[in-house]
Amino acid sequence: MPAPRPNDDAVPPVPVLHVLTVPLAELGVPTAPDLRELLAGSGLLAWTVDGQGLVGHGRAAGHTVRGPDRFTAARVWWDDLAAAAVVEDRVGVPGSGLAAFGAFSFAAESGADSGLVVPELVVGRRDDDAWASLAVAAAPGAPFTLSAEDVVAAWVHHHGAAPGAAVAAAPAAAPGPVHLSPGALDEAAWTQAVREGVELIRAGGLEKLVLARDVLARTAGPLDPVAVVRDLAHRYERCWTYCVDLGSGAGRLLGATPEMLVRVLDGTARARVLAGTLDRDAVPAGEDPQRFAARVLGESEKQQHEHGFAIDSLTASLAPYTEVVTSSPEPFILELPNVWHLASDVTAVLRPGPAGDPPSSLELAEAVHPTAAVCGTPTAAAAALIPELERMDRGLYAGPVGWLDAAGNGDWGIALRGAVQQDEHTVRLFAGCGIVGASDPEAELAETWAKLRPMLQALGLGADPAGAAPGAGAAAPRRPGR
Ligand SMILES: C=C(O[C@H]1C=CC=C(C(=O)O)[C@@H]1O)C(=O)O
């Protein structure tokens, strides 16, 4: 559905893009590659899961937005860009043709830019389909001259090798020591904030609240984001690994999220809802790990309660857009290298809007954000309390991150288990926990460390930052015993 337009003076003019998508077979690459091998080079944009997805390089166009209308403003820009673009798509699958990466702030009031960026070169893979798309700005009315040779030239430029040839592997992510320090709140202050949250819930003001904290990592040597992204994509292959730099100086968002906010493919929406977490390091000696997870997560009333809020908030916000919504009858246990989660997959057949088109992935991402997995229940009460208790601007953490195409398809994950790289030596890591009346603040603090683990490992800090890595030289904030 086209985005409602504000008055035309407020809409910036868009560039005219020429876009050519060719199958990789046309470039001499007969079998679909594992996209993780293409995570290299400067100006990387990525959205991959299990070797599939989209990997972008360079920048053909981009638009940043802020405030409560940030999604609508981005959609208007995208609709205009797509209408003006001249596209030759020889593949015709979701993600081919004109495609953009995007990231949106958690809060409407955030000082961080949100937006969309169209890479110059995108290499995509969906099952056995693999393609490359080249996008370049052209003068209005200019003839379309892009050819497969132009795509190869862009590939060589960005990858330093021809299509099909091996790309140089990245060196270690963070050479030299990494120093960790508390962000907005230290551990004691954050635990106190959780305590206050629990009291408010018990007093009946709200039912669930998600509280997060940030940790700053300073690296002695320059941090290579490509090595971080590669590490995450290989280690967390069941998660969606993301890397988005909107180019506005706000930093590079990277991480590997297990949570799919909404995916739209050919008129069907899907989501993976998570809530309920168990640290895989917490298995008592002699216990069978799977049975332990099934008992502690699957049979815990507190965890099921927390999970139920997340499912209800998603299905309620999808309802106006859907014909039928189905979800897993019982949550299942999702096993990740660092934690187990209670998870439910939701599928919804989308209802066409008044103009006959089903809602786009970005329209749905706006409709369902923020879910109770990152905000709370009721949403408005939780959203108002979060900055007050966390004492920070979440920026892009816990906001939608992903990609979209001109047909409305796209994947929007929730930017979790990640960080914002602020400069060559500084990354700001985030993790949060769903709090209910039965939550124990110390246990929630320990859970944030388990959720920070993917990024800490990618920085070379090992699983336990407090005892970490003589080689990594970590200086970490105190980690509670469990
Ligand atoms: C808020 C985060 O996780 C959410 C997603 C899955 C499980 C969660 C939990 O069990 O608390 C959180 O709701 C985070 O990783 O920062």
Work out the pLDDT band at 113, boundaries 50, 70, 90. very high
Supply the pLDDT for residue 6: 64
From 259, 445, 451, 455, mutation site for ligand 1 pocket: most ligand atoms within 8 A of C-beta: 451
Per-residue pLDDT, averaged over 392-416, amounts to 98
**CB of 417 sitting under 6 A from ligand 1:** yes
- 205 and 293 fall within a common domain: yes
Domain span including residue 349: 178-242+250-458
- 154 and 183 fall within a common domain: no
pLDDT tens digit sequence for 151-161 = 999 999 999 89
Tell me the range of 171-180, 196-205, 471-480 where mean pLDDT is highest.
196-205
For residue 417, the ligand 1 atom closest to its alpha carbon is 15
Stretch among 31-35, 449-453, 475-479 having the lowest mean pLDDT: 475-479
For residue 432, the ligand 1 atom closest to its alpha carbon is 16
Supply the pLDDT for residue 327: 84
The two structure tokens encoding residue 201: 């819930």
Q: What is the DSSP string of 262-296?
A: EEEETTEEEEEEEEEEEEGGGPPTTS-HHHHHIII
pLDDT tens digit sequence for 243-298 = 999 998 889 999 999 999 999 998 899 999 998 899 999 899 999 999 999 999 88
Q: What proportion of the chain, given as a percentage, has pLDDT over 90?
A: 77
For residue 397, the ligand 1 atom closest to its alpha carbon is 16
Ligand 1 centroid vs 455 CA: distance in angstroms? 15
- 215 and 132 fall within a common domain: no
pLDDT tens digit sequence for 87-108 = 999 999 999 999 999 999 999 9
Supply the pLDDT for residue 12: 72
* Residues forming a β-bridge with 359: none
Does residue 206 register a pLDDT over 80?
yes
Residue 170 included in any domain: no
The two structure tokens encoding residue 290: 């799977």
Ligand 1 centroid vs 130 CA: distance in angstroms? 33
Residue 480 included in any domain: no
Per-residue pLDDT, averaged over 401-413, amounts to 97
- 232 and 356 fall within a common domain: yes
Distance between CA atoms of residues 232 and 300, nearest Å = 30
Supply the pLDDT for residue 8: 60
- 194 and 146 fall within a common domain: no
- 155 and 182 fall within a common domain: no
Ligand 1 centroid vs 251 CA: distance in angstroms? 23
Residue 466 included in any domain: no
User: Closest Cα partner for 75 from 348, 445, 342, 400?
Assistant: 400
Residue 478 included in any domain: no
Supply the pLDDT for residue 1: 67
Supply the pLDDT for residue 10: 63
Work out the pLDDT band at 323, boundaries 50, 70, 90. confident
Atom 8 (ligand 1): residue with closest C-alpha?
275
Question: How many structural domains comprise the chain?
Answer: 2
The two structure tokens encoding residue 451: 């959720």
**CB of 184 sitting under 6 A from ligand 1:** no
Supply the pLDDT for residue 5: 67
From 433, 439, 455, mutation site for ligand 1 pocket: most ligand atoms within 8 A of C-beta: 433
pLDDT tens digit sequence for 45-63 = 999 999 999 999 999 999 9
- 196 and 152 fall within a common domain: no
Work out the pLDDT band at 466, boundaries 50, 70, 90. very low
The two structure tokens encoding residue 277: 């977490």
Which CATH number do you get for residue 366?
3.60.120.10
**Which value does ipTM take for this structure?**
0.99
Work out the pLDDT band at 7, boundaries 50, 70, 90. low
- 143 and 231 fall within a common domain: no
Residue 469 included in any domain: no
**CB of 210 sitting under 6 A from ligand 1:** yes
User: Closest Cα partner for 297 from 238, 239, 344, 340?
Assistant: 340
- Judge if the upstream peptide bond of residue 370 is cis by omega within 30 degrees of 0: yes
Ligand 1 centroid vs 307 CA: distance in angstroms? 10
Q: What is the DSSP string of 287-337?
A: S-HHHHHIIIIIT-HHHHHHHHHHHHHHHHHHGGGEEEEEE-SS-EEEE-S
Distance between CA atoms of residues 259 and 333, nearest Å = 13
- 348 and 427 fall within a common domain: yes
Atom 4 (ligand 1): residue with closest C-alpha?
373
The better pLDDT of the pair 319, 476 is held by: 319
Atom 10 (ligand 1): residue with closest C-alpha?
276
* The dihedral sign for the CA sequence 190, 192, 197, 198: positive
Stretch among 142-156, 208-222, 289-303 having the lowest mean pLDDT: 289-303
From 274, 342, 417, mutation site for ligand 1 pocket: most ligand atoms within 8 A of C-beta: 274
Residue 272 included in any domain: yes
User: Closest Cα partner for 341 from 297, 300, 291?
Assistant: 297
Distance between CA atoms of residues 456 and 418, nearest Å = 10
- 221 and 100 fall within a common domain: no
Does residue 412 register a pLDDT over 90?
yes
For 83, how many CA atoms within 13 A lie in the half-sphere containing its CB? 10
* The dihedral sign for the CA sequence 345, 342, 411, 373: positive
Ligand 1 centroid vs 458 CA: distance in angstroms? 19
Question: Which of 129, 159, 189 is where one domain is finished?
Answer: 159
Mean pLDDT of the chain: 91
Residue 325 included in any domain: yes
- 33 and 84 fall within a common domain: yes
Ligand 1 centroid vs 87 CA: distance in angstroms? 40
Ligand 1 centroid vs 275 CA: distance in angstroms? 6
